[in-house]
Amino acid sequence: MNVTVKKWGNSQAIRLPKAIAESLDIKENENVEIKVRNDEIIIKKVRRHKSFEERMAGYDGDYNFVEMDTGNPMGKEVF
């Protein structure tokens, strides 16, 4: 897909076509990462880490704790 580079203030800008933004679920005002590799411009969606509350929001079951033996200390672990 070809797009045109336009002037935006003192910078250059491109518009992401709707189909591309939708395929990556990129919304207005979201951050993206941009890099240059060889002769390519790479734009990646920034994946933010979910908070504990966000991770637990869909959880509706019981948690059964299981103790695991990880062996003897091998370094300067603090207990």
pLDDT, position 7: 96
Instruction: State both tokens at 24.
Output: 């990556």
User: What domains sit in the chain, N to C, each tagged with a CATH number?
Assistant: 6-56 (2.10.260.10)
Identify which of 20, 10, 22, 9 has the alpha carbon closest to the alpha carbon of residue 43.
20
pTM, to two decimals: 0.52
Note the pLDDT tens digit of each residue in 16-49: 999 999 998 899 998 899 999 999 999 998 887 8
- The CA distance from 70 to 79, in Å, is 13
Q: Characterise 38 by phi-psi region: left (phi > 0), alpha (psi -120 to 50), beta (else).
A: left
Residues with Cβ within 8 Å of 12's Cβ and at least 6 positions away in sequence, in order, are 5, 6
